Structure 1
Amino acid sequence: MQRASELRVKEVVSINDGRRLGFMFDLEIDMDTGKVISFVIPSGTRVLGFLGRAGELVIDWDRIKKIGLDVILVDDSGLTI
């Protein structure tokens, strides 16, 4: 298990094209289950197909494929960034 503070220093990278998406800024937690449902990356654009606020990229937690020493690899297929 990793702490949120440890995740925040890892860069989020797309497994599809190697694009650097940024750094995790915040986590969204289901208050009923206590499970993380998504994470937020500050962004200059809005993502279509996801609940996102202007200036934030919200990615579902289940899109994470691997958490490594320095990066978090995510499947961003189908996202328009």
Structure 2
Amino acid sequence: MVTLSTLQTKQIVSMDTGARIGHVIDLEIDVETGLITDIVIGNRSSVSHIFQKQTEVIIPWKNIVTFGHDVILVNEKS
């Protein structure tokens, strides 16, 4: 079992490009089935701007390839 707080500490990395996408900031759950449908990833496009708006990327749960010790590998393409 993995907790949300554990997921939030891991870097999200694209299998397609090798780029770092960001960190998990939220999960979307289907209330009828109780299953996680998507992960919401937050990323600031520039670390130097503290007040810059954070962008969100939504990755379907089915696109998660594997959970590593420090990273979560995802396919960005369905």
TM above 0.5, yes or no, is: yes
Using the aligned pairs only, state the percent identity. 40
- Deviation at 1:15? 0.7
Contiguous gaps of at least 5 residues in structure 2: 46-53
In the alignment, residue 4 of structure 1 is paired with which amino acid?
Answer: L
* Runs of 4+ in structure 1 over 3 Å off: none
Shift of 1:17: 1.5
How far the C-alpha of 1:33 sits from its partner, in A, is: 0.7
Q: Note the aligned Cα RMSD (angstroms).
A: 1.8
Hey, what's the Cα distance between the residues in 2 that align with 1:60 and 1:77? 10
Where does structure 1 lack aligned partners over 5 or more consecutive residues? 46-53
Between Structure 1 and Structure 2, how many residues are aligned?
Answer: 70
Greater strand proportion = 2
Larger Rg: 2
